Amino acid sequence: MIANAKKQFLHDADEHVRDTGHRAFVQRALGGYYTSRDTQKARYRDWEHARDAASLAKWSAVNRLDELLPRFVANFEANGGRVHWARDAEEARRIVLDLLRAAKARAVIKSKCMTSEEIHLNAAMEQDGYGVVESDLGEFIQQLRGEPPYHFVFPCMHVRRGEISDLFGKHLGTPPTDSPEELTMIARRHMRRLYVDADVGITGANFLVAETGQISITENEGNARLTAALPRVHIAISGIEKVVEHLDDLAVLLPMLATAGAGQPMTCYNTLYAGPRREGECDGPEEMHLVLLDNSRTAILADPEQRDSLHCIRCGACLNVCPIFKNVGGFTYGTTYQGPIGSVITPHLRGLADWNHLSGASSLCGACTDACPVRIDIHHHLLHNRRNAARTAPHWLERIGHRVFVAVASRPWLFATGGAAFRKTLWLAKKLRPPLLRDWLASRDLPAAPSRSFRDEWSRRR
Amino acid sequence: MTAQGNPAGEMSARDTILARIREALRVPAPMPHFQSQEIEKGHAAGAKSSTGLPTLAVLPLDVAKPWLPDGGETPAERLRILAENLEKLRAIVHRLPDMTAAADCLFALARERDWKVVAYHGHPLVEPLLSGVPCSTLRVDVDFDKNRLEACDAGITACESLVAQTGSILVSSGTCGGRALSILPHAHVVIATVDQVVSTLGDALHQAQARHAGRLPSMLSFITGPSRTGDIERILVLGAHGPKELILLLVG
Ligand code: SF4
């Protein structure tokens, strides 16, 4: 399947691009986001400079991970939490399953957690006989649909309300409705008992605060709060790169995450957890576990040029503004992390040879880089990946092509003759439509060749 | 559990990952191109750490303060900004002169909304209001039955602080009745005094750190408006899993 990741991408992209109804639907869904994002950005006294500060907070943490990660772990454990290290997805799954077994879990409730998607946790849990319910509304809908998230912040943004109504009718036996409000209430009612009855709650983490040993979780619905309040055991799963040094770094990062990603002043609930229930507190889990996942993050860390892609706070802004994402849709990527940042990091996480085609899934317009609250140089990293792929395993055609070009371009007389020949024969390409150009010509007109070269024109006008 | 089953394996995962990190960081990353002079200067002034990277002479929040949204300098400004933000967030705010007025307000809310049971915690701002409510009450300070809390119409809590900058309400498990009281009932009523209003998120965090001096509560949560979702066609719906209504009784 992986060997065909590129073919799959091209096939799905082609299909999606033709589905104008779907594209219009996704565009409309994002329409409100652009307005509210701009309104919220305007509340900053200087958004561009604030991005510097956000970038500084992540840069100084990621580049001192050797010092800050152990410091975080020591403080988290001092707070009564337990840390489990996972080198890869397989190890992370095993840790979680062991924890579930030890907790004698019967019912598990989960709030949105992209790292758990990354390690395919749900499938592993189901295989071991644990029922698990996704409590985030979008994730719940995707779980019922048997699909991965379409967008890592807006998981079901591609689904129409009618489809959701049918889905709930089928799985929950509720009457049809086309009101988003009523559909949300159906999920709310369905879920309430599940929080109370679950013995284990699984969440992600957005930030790990080194100086205090707290984990920070950002969400709008309140499902993560419930997941970390009611079950007896709380398991959080996080990538190792989520560390920040100071608690007050969050005073910069939390509002910017909300504004960039969803056009909000702050996400509705931003919650810091320091271990399980304390003495003197009236509720909360008896145990809190944190799974720290590497899964090739250290490979990105080892590339100083692209290390800053670990600054990503998963706000989703780069997806929302990406012309490619909007045209090919989230599923086409075939990755856990879609859009521009997904295209940058997936080749590191899953192999450049199989995933380099994502580096081409960009118009290099730079909209992603402009949108990124922590100033990751996203579109240049796509170029870096292309260069790295060309270095390691260049396509034979590119290799020959470049050699020919270098030979011609470094000899002015040859360049002039070649150019003249090219101008004279360009019409032939249109007529013959050779296989190499056919795809390109299918949706474009070939312009007529000018009669003179640029150099001729230059010397005439001087 | 890993600790029981395979302690050796766990140790080695930790050591492997930390070794990979140390190895990876041997080559320093270039400094990002900051636009701001303050940060560039701050970096130049910082000493070098063991990895050859400058340690921070500037803290992100310190430099960001003048760039982030305004939280107001004076108490009056803070109150105005807070009220504006809460309104946009669709929280309900009642400004009340004193605790008697607050008690009357809570009474009226319970009547209007036909609340049958409200949950609360022992706190000098909360308890006095509960004596007259026209419904039954559940106190959650000590162990309580979460099934009973689930059936409550409203949770009534104090808060740590109110943040003008973002319209956020900071609650904690230590001082606001635990973790579930402010999230499980269908409505959340917060009782606060005007002197609890701070300007920025940073101020709220510093205040909490000072108040709990080295022993932070197991949960600190910034609540910014009633629970919401946009998951269905990106259309805003209030009351996804948490409270549909967030009501602030602001005294003073
Ligand atoms: S790369 Fe930047 S814009 Fe994209 S999700 Fe990450 S933080 Fe947001």
Kindly report, residue by residue over A316-331, the tens digit of the pLDDT: 999 999 999 999 999 9
**In percent, how much of chain A has pLDDT > 90?**
79
- The answer to whether residue A439 scores a pLDDT higher than 60 is yes
- In-domain check, residue A137: yes
Closest Cα to atom 8 of ligand 1: A315
What confidence score (pLDDT) does residue B1 get? 39
For residue A316, give the ligand 1 atom closest to its CA. Answer: 5
Band (pLDDT 50/70/90 cuts) for residue B44 is low
Q: How far apart are the first and last CA of chain B?
A: 52
CA B127 → CA A140, A340, B106, B157, distances in Å? 38, 52, 12, 9
Pick B241's closest partner by Cβ from A135, A181, A249. Answer: A135
* Residues B63-120 pLDDT 10s: 899 999 999 999 999 999 999 999 999 999 999 999 999 999 999 999 999 999 999 9
CA distance B207 to A278: 20
- The answer to whether residue B50 scores a pLDDT higher than 50 is no
* Average pLDDT for chain A: 93
* Residues A345-361 pLDDT 10s: 999 999 888 898 999 89
How far does the CA of residue B142 sit from the closest CA of chain A (Å)?
5
* Residues B159-217 pLDDT 10s: 999 999 999 999 999 999 999 999 999 999 999 999 999 999 999 999 999 999 878 99
* Average pLDDT for chain B: 90
CA distance A163 to A179: 12
Q: How far apart are the first and last CA of chain A?
A: 59
- In-domain check, residue A346: no
- In-domain check, residue A226: yes
In DSSP terms, which residues pair with B156 in a beta bridge?
B120, B189
The CA-CA-CA angle for residues A214, A220, A222, to 5°, reads 70
- The answer to whether residue A306 scores a pLDDT higher than 90 is yes
What confidence score (pLDDT) does residue A2 get? 47
Question: What distance lies between CA A453 and its chain's CA centroid?
Answer: 45
Band (pLDDT 50/70/90 cuts) for residue A124 is very high
Please tell me whether residues A269 and A416 are part of one structural domain: no
A202 pocket-lining for ligand 1 (C-beta < 6 Å) = no
- CA-CA-CA-CA torsion sign (B103, B104, B110, B116): positive
A164 pocket-lining for ligand 1 (C-beta < 6 Å) = no
CA distance A194 to B158: 27
Band (pLDDT 50/70/90 cuts) for residue B3 is very low
Average pLDDT value for residue range A133-145: 96
Cα of A419 vs centre of ligand 1, distance in Å, is: 43
What confidence score (pLDDT) does residue B12 get? 87
- The answer to whether residue A399 scores a pLDDT higher than 60 is yes
Least confident of A367-381, A423-437, B60-74, B198-212: A423-437
- In-domain check, residue A383: no
- In-domain check, residue A77: yes
CB of A219 within 8 A of CB of B181?
A: no
For residue A152, give the ligand 1 atom closest to its CA. Answer: 5
What confidence score (pLDDT) does residue A389 get? 85
Among B85, B246, B61, B76, CA closest to B166: B85
Token representation of residue A111: 């709030």
- The answer to whether residue B233 scores a pLDDT higher than 80 is yes
A378 pocket-lining for ligand 1 (C-beta < 6 Å) = yes
- In-domain check, residue A388: no
CA distance A368 to A414: 40
Provide φ and ψ at B225, rounded to 5°.
Answer: 90, 170
CA distance B230 to B145: 32
Contact residues for A438 (Cβ-Cβ < 8 A; gap 6+) = none
Average pLDDT value for residue range A151-160: 94
* Residues A241-265 pLDDT 10s: 999 999 999 999 999 999 999 999 9
- Asked if this assembly's ipTM is beyond 0.85, the reply is yes
3-state secondary structure A82-141: EEEEECCHHHHHHHHHHHHHHCCCCEEEECCCHHHHHCCHHHHHHHCCCEEEECCHHHHH
Q: Which residue of A has its CA nearest to B34?
A: A52
Pick B59's closest partner by Cβ from A33, A246, A265. Answer: A246
Cα of A173 vs centre of ligand 1, distance in Å, is: 38
- In-domain check, residue A392: no
- The answer to whether residue B142 scores a pLDDT higher than 90 is no
Cα of A13 vs centre of ligand 1, distance in Å, is: 22
> What CATH number is given to the structural domain containing A237?
3.40.50.10420
- The answer to whether residue A382 scores a pLDDT higher than 70 is yes
- In-domain check, residue A397: no
For residue A314, give the ligand 1 atom closest to its CA. Answer: 5
Residue with tokens 């045209």: A327
What confidence score (pLDDT) does residue B2 get? 42
CB pairs < 8 Å spanning A and B: 343
Task: Decide which of A264, A295, A326 is a domain's last residue.
Answer: A295
Average pLDDT value for residue range A369-385: 95
Task: Decide which of A266, A295, A324 is a domain's last residue.
Answer: A295
What confidence score (pLDDT) does residue B55 get? 55
**In percent, how much of chain A has pLDDT > 70?**
99
Structural domain harbouring A437:
412-461
What confidence score (pLDDT) does residue B4 get? 42
Q: Is B84 on the interface with A (CB under 8 A)?
A: no
Structural domain count of chain A: 2
Band (pLDDT 50/70/90 cuts) for residue A441 is confident
* Residues A37-50 pLDDT 10s: 999 999 999 999 99
- The answer to whether residue A335 scores a pLDDT higher than 60 is yes
Average pLDDT value for residue range A203-230: 97
Task: Decide which of A265, A295, A325 is a domain's last residue.
Answer: A295
CA distance B191 to B247: 9
User: Do B60 and A56 lie within an 8 Å CB cutoff?
Assistant: yes
CB of B186 within 8 A of CB of B244?
A: yes
CB atoms inside a 10 Å sphere around CB A188: 22
CB of A344 within 8 A of CB of A309?
A: yes
Please tell me whether residues A61 and A188 are part of one structural domain: yes
The CA-CA-CA angle for residues A261, A265, A266, to 5°, reads 75
Among A208, A215, A198, A229, CA closest to A134: A198
What confidence score (pLDDT) does residue B232 get? 94
Question: What distance lies between CA B252 and its chain's CA centroid?
Answer: 22
What confidence score (pLDDT) does residue B45 get? 52
User: Do B233 and A160 lie within an 8 Å CB cutoff?
Assistant: yes
Token representation of residue B33: 């191109």
Going from the N-terminus, what domains does chain B have, and what CATH number goes with each?
Answer: 13-66 (no CATH), 68-251 (3.40.50.10420)
- The answer to whether residue B5 scores a pLDDT higher than 50 is no
